[in-house]
Copies of this chain bind each other. A is one copy, B any other.
Amino acid sequence: MMSVSPPRRGEDIEEEASPLGPVADGDESLCFSPRPSPSRGVAEGHPGHHGSEQSSHRLLAYSDALISIIATVMILPVCHTKIRADQELEESLQQLLSTKIAVYIMTFLIVTVAWASHIRLFQVIERIDDVLALLNLACMMLITFLPYTFSLMASFPDDTLGILSFCVCAIIIGLIQAVIVIYGFHRPYLLNAHICASEDQFSYKYQILKMILRAPALFLLAGILSFIYCPVAYAVLALVIFLPYITQCTQWCRNKIKGPKELQRVPFYSFHPNEPLSKERVEAFSDGVFAIVATLLILDICEDNVPEGKEVAEKFNGKLIEALSEYGPEFLAYFGSFVTVGLLWFVHHSLFLYITKSTRLMGLLNTLSLAFVGGLPLAFRLTHEFAANSRNELEAIQISCVIIFLASLFQFAIWAAALYNEKETLHHHIRYGGKEHALMFAKLSLYPSVAFVTFCLTYVLSKFSTEIFHLMQIIVPFAFVLLRIIVQIVLAILAWLFSRLKPRTSLLIEEEESVISVSEVAS
């Protein structure tokens, strides 16, 4: 990754694949040589032996960045809802906020559905050329427009225009994806090696196109229905979004009753919870969300919190520092939210280091976790919008705790889902038992437990809730730094206790090891 000597790595791959003439034997020659190195084509995407085709790595990274920004962006209208400091949360304001929050969560989920279908598509198409890159950009443009159509829908639920524009966007996205698939099957060297090598490409093509075009067909139906009776159209929309899960359920039930059917042949588009989901893309998408969330508050601060020269001169006798101290709580909110988001990213990063294969279920849990992470800047902003020690401030702090709790709990759930099938999904270092396992457990459970304790404390000692909350913000980063030491001390104590109860050599050895590591770390 950080190569120092001139990075010529790609050429080696190229040299391997270049003698295309003589190797050409039958159908296989059309496919890209399957996996020349453990992580082929990730870093280097030099054109293969068909001249114009390239690795899709960077295209996908860019798409992930775009989609993650778009998914998170609808939190901004929620953040920017004006609340006066002394204002109790009135009913109308509460209603406005809850509408906007609902729009945010729904947009996040819909955009991630579009993202999941994008992942599936580019698991079939493994290499790209210029035409595919441009088609993909067109697709991205429409996906970035989805949040707007969705907020139109939320603001004017009875107007057909909102639902219609949403349906039109979704239909065009589906059609572009279909065109990409047809183009890919027309040039088989762009396809996934597995499909490319198969003899029955036509049935694959048919099956994938059927899956992709199912959604636009239903959106078309919803669009037509919206002219007749809007609520039915909304029902159809919901149907499209939950269709994979419904299909999965009915299939599962049918299998239970009739006995298992033969397996579906395409390994993607199966909508099975165990279907593989490109781990790199889950990471890239999460990175995008974490990055934009971490910077959302600084965007506001840069724009709004630079005082005007006139104001400083008149109000504060020209003393800039006094003018800035007015904004103090906002800086605190910024640092608090940056630290929390950063540490949640850190936990996510540690977890995914050890995950070898991510599944759809883990992707879903990750999406839910990220949706709550997206709410963090809002929550932190709210903590200082209200008067000190008011009921609203207390509520804002409690909401922050709940959001942190849920975001980190879903991260924990990803781990639980991975552990459920650990042989396939986890690196052997981290599997059940062992020190690294304990360390990961501690990392993942730190934020949920801290958030839970803070929440309980604010209930009991509601007078000091602000102080407790800020104390929590300061302590947690240090806890992470010391975590390795703490875990090893706890393990050593546990091992010592166990060895007292039933002295076994294996535990003694582990104890010794951990004691040595503690002294290593301490030195």
- Annotate A319-333 by CB proximity to B: 1 below 8 A, 0 otherwise: 011001000000000
Q: How would residues 186 to 213 of chain A score, 1 for a CB under 8 Å from any chain B CB and 0 otherwise?
A: 0000001110000000000000000000
Q: At the interface, yes or no: A66 with Cβ under 8 Å from chain B?
A: yes
* Contact code string A30-67 (vs B, CB < 8 Å = 1, else 0): 00000101111111111100011011111111100110
Segment of A68-76, A84-92, A405-413, A451-459 engaged in the interface with chain B: A68-76
Q: How many residues belonging to A are interface residues under a CB distance threshold of 8 Å?
A: 123
CB 8 Å contact bits of A280-301 with B (1 = contact, 0 = none)? 1001100110111011001101
Given contacts A13-B38, A52-B484, contact A4 B192 (CB under 8 A): yes
- A460 within 8 Å of B by Cβ? no
Chain multiplicity (copies): 2
- Given A130-B480, A194-B4: A46 and B284 interface contact (C-beta under 8 Å): no
Interface contact B295-A70, CB-CB below 8 Å: yes
Within 8 A of B (CB), among A1-20: 1-14
Q: Tell which of B8, B74, B302 touches A356, judged by Cβ atoms closer than 8 Å.
A: B8
A461 within 8 A of B: no
CB <8 Å contact, B62 and A295: no
User: A76 vs B161: C-alpha distance in the bound complex, in angstroms?
Assistant: 30
Q: Assuming the A-B contacts A52-B484, A292-B69, A299-B76, are A2 and B37 also in contact, with contact meaning beta carbons closer than 8 angstroms in the complex?
A: no
Residues of A within 8 A of B (CB): 1-14, 35, 37-47, 51-52, 54-62, 65-66, 69-70, 73-74, 76-77, 80, 122-123, 126, 130-131, 133-134, 137, 140-141, 144-145, 147-148, 151-152, 155-156, 159, 161-162, 192-194, 267-268, 276, 278-280, 283-284, 287-288, 290-292, 294-295, 298-299, 301-303, 305-309, 312, 320-321, 324, 335, 338-339, 342-343, 345-346, 349-350, 352-354, 356-357, 424, 427-429, 436, 477, 480-481, 483-484
